Amino acid sequence: MGSDTIRQKGIYIHIPFCISKCIYCDFCSAPADEDTKEQYVSALCREIRQAGIEAEQKGENRTASTVFFGGGTPSILRSAQIVEIMNAVREAFRLTDDAEITMECNPGTLTKEKLETYRYAGVNRLSIGLQSTNNRDLKNLGRIHTYEQFEESYIEARLAGFNNINVDIMSAIPGQTPEKYAENLRRVVALKTEHISAYSLIVEENTPLYDMVERTHGRILPSEEDDRRMYTMTKEILGEAGYNRYEISNYAKPGYECRHNCFYWNRTEYLGFGIAAASLSGNRRYTNTSDMASYLANPIHNRAEEQILTVEDEMEEYMFLGLRMMKGVDKTEFARLFGKDYDEVYGDITRRHIEQGLMAAEGSRLCLTDIGIDISNTVMADYIL
């Protein structure tokens, strides 16, 4: 028996295609023709198979308990292409019987046939990008769908047997008021979805939204006060509806936390395939090229960046990522992972945070308090060594 049986691993597959670009998006995604998509899928399958071969040759862990199709819009692919990718994954890796297999999808790209094929291919969790239940918001954001189309896709997904669905919603959208946002939350809650990711819109540079915000000196965005009200409403409305906030922006019904994303926050090993995909393997963190032409020409040797993490880097990451989760970090685990006493490394700063009411301790666990979460970026910056 190798370490395969005890160690977990996640697999991320990046599908960088979208029907059109949303005005706020700086992800690695773009519209593409059918030929490019076809070439991409074969390149992706080659990369996945090769990783399996190399892992086997090196005697590395080939067991994975999560697969996550992210994008872009993975559901833009033909369903046969998803089956092709899943076949490559199963050839290269051993998926556990209870593997969580998630597909990000957008309303307007889903059909009954696609949903049924996803189920056949083993996909058991959907993450649907809704963002808002208000059609004017959706139009303003450059989304390709209406709320009604989302609802149709959602019902179709339930009929196809999906019983683990995440819905993404967004606050601080231009023109959005707290009252309208609260209505969004209530409509999503009424759907009884298992998981809700609730993010605040971030204005990224090099996006059309950024230019609009600059031109209007920020007037199109909700005020800071309204932004705060929306943040508080998220916690209150979702909490009252029985959703457990397990990460700063993620809420789940008990037992429906996203295992794959928890792998990121727990720094569990994950392998990313496709352009711009990142991987964490032991103390190596690496990212694939984000250039489509180079990836298609050589999907096997396509690393753009590789970083060997020092123990200090790993300890910092453990803190930044771990503190995003409500369960926080664990001093005993810290000592086991890094061979160092937590209090020797972070004792002083943690004591100060506890005194200031930013962190709380329970046994060996430490987590951010509500006030700490509110200023989490500032708190986390104190953990840089």
Q: Which is nearer to ligand SF4, 18 or 230 (CB)?
A: 18
Q: Which is nearer to ligand SF4, 25 or 64 (CB)?
A: 25
Question: From CA 337, how far away is CA 82, in angstroms rounded?
Answer: 37
Minimum CB–partner distance for residue 106 and ligand SF4 (Å): 5
Select from 52, 71, 107, 322 the one that contacts ligand SF4 (CB under 6 A). Answer: 71
Q: Does 75 bind ligand SF4 (CB under 6 A)?
A: no
Q: Under the criterion CB under 6 A, does residue 29 sit at the interface with ligand SF4?
A: yes
Query: Binding mask 119-138 vs ligand SF4 (x if CB under 6 A, - otherwise)?
Result: ----------x---------
What sign does the CA torsion over 164, 6, 362, 264 have? negative
65 or 153, CB closer to ligand SF4? 153
Query: With DSSP H G I counted as helix, E B as strand and the rest as coil, what are the percentages for the chain, rounded to 5?
Result: 45, 20, 35
106 is a site residue for ligand SF4 (CB under 6 A): yes
Query: Which of 11, 13, 25, 366: binder of ligand SF4 (CB under 6 A)?
Result: 25
Binding flag, residue 107, ligand SF4 (CB under 6 A): no
Tokens (6 digits) for 88? 């490559």
CB of 184 to ligand SF4, least distance (A): 17
State which of residues 72, 222, 274, 299 lies at the interface with ligand SF4 (CB under 6 A). 72
CB 190 within 8 A of CB 133: no
Give the number of other Cβ atoms within 10 Å of residue 134's Cβ: 19
Among 11, 13, 15, 18, binds ligand SF4 (CB under 6 A): 18
Rule CB under 6 A: is residue 103 a binding residue for ligand SF4? Answer: no
Is residue 178 within 8 Å of 226, Cβ to Cβ? yes
Cis peptide bond N-terminal to 72, omega within 30? yes
Contacts of 222 (CB under 8 A, 6+ apart): 172, 173, 174, 176, 177, 178, 230
Reference 18, options 28, 10, 9; nearest CA is 28
Residue 128 or 359 with smaller CB distance to ligand SF4? 128
Stretch that binds ligand SF4, among 21-29, 50-58, 171-179, 300-308 (CB under 6 A): 21-29
- Restricted to residues 188-247, the positions that interact with ligand SF4 (CB under 6 A) are none
Strand, helix or coil for residue 384: coil
In the chain, the N- to C-terminal Cα span, in Å, equals 38
Contacts with ligand SF4, residue ranges (CB under 6 A) = 18, 21-22, 25, 27, 29, 71-73, 106, 129
